Structure 1
Amino acid sequence: MTSKDKEIQSYFGLIEKSVQKLEHIFNDFKEVSFILHGELNITTFDIKELIEEVSISVFRKRNKDINKALIDVEVLTDSQYMTSDRALLKRLVYQIIENVFEHNNYYDTELKITFEKENSSHYRMYFKDNGIGIPENLQKKVFEVFFKGKRSDINVGMGLYMAKKVVSRLGGELNLKSEIETGTTIEVILPVRQLAENLNYN
């Protein structure tokens, strides 16, 4: 650790990067374990507030200015409150929003997020961007663990894999449509959860 030999310092640098990558992988698998086996905590919360909170976190992670973000959130119902597991939904929204901007330009990419309560039993959310799009032959692969497409420099390829697991855990459905040089739309359909007897509003 005290060596001034540049070659030795270089090796230690490579070891540090490898350890950091393994730590990210370990943390992501802990997240997956929580998603699959953790108990659901159903509350009612403000979906616009959650999206704003997540967006700030995504941009802050890369030291980007959230004020320059081209994110538009539209609520197509009378209420912007949602009843579900807030922690799981936050993970879902985070993975989708981060994936959009990591694979495109943070300041040039437009993201339109639409939320609606389709009926008394289901919510529907759309995440539509005008990014580079995903080739048709890769559209199913993006939900596989460790898949990173052409970008080998970002995270460890667990984002949309975890998003899919969250939707499954909540008993919902996730669909993806994409066109090259046009953009990608992710549709999330989630059930309206039964109100708890002692409901927490947060």
Structure 2
Amino acid sequence: MHSLLQRQLRKKLPEHLAKDAQLQDFLAAVERSYENYDEKLSMIQRATTISSEELFEANRELTKEAARQQKILESLEDAIASLNVHFGDEEQSLGLRKTEFDAEKLAKHISHLAIEIAQITEEKTLLLNDVEAQNESLNNYVQMVSHDLKSPIRNVSALLSWVLDTDKENLSQESIGNIELASKNLIKMDNLINGILTHATIGKNMESKSNVDVNALLRELESNISIPENVSLRYKRNFPTIYIEKNLLEKVFTYLIENAIAATEHRDRGLVQIDFLDNDAYYEFAIADNGIGIPEKHQSSIFEMFKKLDNDDNSAGVGLALAQKIVRLYEGEIAVESKEDKGTTFSFTLKK
């Protein structure tokens, strides 16, 4: 009870009432009610303070969430604008950049685009399955034709060799020359069939990957490839070890090195040089020569099947096309730089 109220009661109450037991109980009850009121008031004040703090914190979180939602909406706007460009959508009047944002219209538009994407994905899957089936049929056909052609070619080649060995003394020089020419053309045809078959099956039956020391691989190739005495093959010993199908990497180096040797063998001092550059995401190799070079008009088509710049009987015109296909299997690129009578550099990358 307030102290001023207590003094007033003591002053105004008659003496006989001030000592009355029932009145004292009544005043005590009033005193307790004041105590409960003060306590409840204090609790309300504390609760009000806590609620204010919580409301402030909640308001701050709501502000952050509103900013996050705004960023999401802006991202959706950008995504839909991009999709509209790709799909040629005629609904360009959505007003997505207006201050008043129509969430319902946006949701409907997203649903419409999602249906279009699903349809396109389904069509793409059907097309891919169809292409895969056609490739399988084509590969089977190539293998069958290759097998059917190789047998008679080898039989004819063996027969010509037998005729030349047994009747050479009875044949004129012209006949001997014709037989040798026919044998060379049979070799060329056999190489062509092998090249076509290899190109058709590369990537289908890939061997298991292994760690390949490129330094050791180049030493093996140097001992296996026929290199004329007037041609030098040079390379440093700084090549990496790559996790790759060894036979495919060997094919790429073989095609490019043999191509460089063929371009330099007419030189008094032919030079083939192999270099390496280590990039962040790719291994990069270069095979350079000081040979005859490639005319600019042919450089754009040099990687096409059956393209070749000479009449080498052992060349099928598929080596560079095979090298390109292998490099692309490893998400790399192959390129050529060349000047006539100055030399050529083939470079290729392999993704790490």
TM range (shorter): 0.7 to 0.9
Counterpart in 2 of 1:198?
A: none
| CA-CA distance at 1:10 after TM superposition | 5.1
The equivalent position to 1:96 in structure 2, one of 241, 246, 256, is 256
The one-letter amino acid paired with 1:115 is F
Q: Residue 116 in 1 paired to residue 277 in 2?
A: yes
| CA-CA distance at 1:109 after TM superposition | 1.8
The one-letter amino acid paired with 1:56 is S
Residues 25-34 or 124-133, more deviating: 25-34
Counterpart in 2 of 1:80?
A: 240
**Helix, strand or coil for the counterpart of 1:143?**
coil
**Helix, strand or coil for the counterpart of 1:116?**
strand
| CA-CA distance at 1:14 after TM superposition | 4.0
Q: TM-score normalized by structure 1?
A: 0.78
Task: After TM superposition, list the pairs within 5 Å mapping 1:122-201 onto structure 2.
Answer: 122-149=282-309, 151-154=310-313, 155-192=315-352
| CA-CA distance at 1:169 after TM superposition | 2.2
What percent of counterpart residues are identical?
A: 25
Q: Deviations over 1:129-151 (max 9, x none)?
A: 222211111112221222221x2
Counterpart in 1 of 2:56?
A: none
Counterpart in 1 of 2:61?
A: none
Q: 1:182 to 1:17 in 2, by over 3 A?
A: closer
| CA-CA distance at 1:112 after TM superposition | 1.9
| CA-CA distance at 1:40 after TM superposition | 4.6
Using the alignment, how far apart are the partners of 2:241 and 2:203 within structure 1? Answer: 25
| CA-CA distance at 1:122 after TM superposition | 1.5
Q: 1:27 to 1:12 in 2, by over 3 A?
A: same
Using the alignment, how far apart are the partners of 2:171 and 2:231 within structure 1? Answer: 44
Using the alignment, how far apart are the partners of 2:185 and 2:265 within structure 1? Answer: 26
| CA-CA distance at 1:162 after TM superposition | 1.4
Q: 1:83 to 1:21 in 2, by over 3 A?
A: same
More helix by share: 2
Please give the root-mean-square deviation of Cα atoms over the aligned residues, in Å.
2.4
**Helix, strand or coil for the counterpart of 2:189?**
helix
Q: 1:85 to 1:21 in 2, by over 3 A?
A: same
**Helix, strand or coil for the counterpart of 1:59?**
coil
**Helix, strand or coil for the counterpart of 2:264?**
coil
Using the alignment, how far apart are the partners of 1:130 and 1:33 within structure 2? Answer: 32
| CA-CA distance at 1:11 after TM superposition | 4.8
Q: 1:136 to 1:42 in 2, by over 3 A?
A: same
| CA-CA distance at 1:12 after TM superposition | 4.0
| CA-CA distance at 1:115 after TM superposition | 1.8
Q: TM-score normalized by structure 2?
A: 0.47
Using the alignment, how far apart are the partners of 2:177 and 2:232 within structure 1? Answer: 39
Using the alignment, how far apart are the partners of 1:53 and 1:71 within structure 2? Answer: 13
Using the alignment, how far apart are the partners of 2:190 and 2:346 within structure 1? Answer: 29
The one-letter amino acid paired with 1:48 is N
Q: 1:8 to 1:133 in 2, by over 3 A?
A: closer
| CA-CA distance at 1:163 after TM superposition | 1.1
Contact 1:144 1:161 in 2 (8 A): yes
Q: What are the ranges of 5 or more consecutive residues in structure 2 without an aligned counterpart?
A: 1-162
Q: Considering Cα pairs closer than 8 Å and 6+ residues apart, tell me whether 1 or 2 has the greater RCO.
A: 1
The equivalent position to 1:57 in structure 2, one of 224, 247, 270, is 224
**Helix, strand or coil for the counterpart of 2:307?**
coil
Residues 166-175 or 89-98, more deviating: 166-175
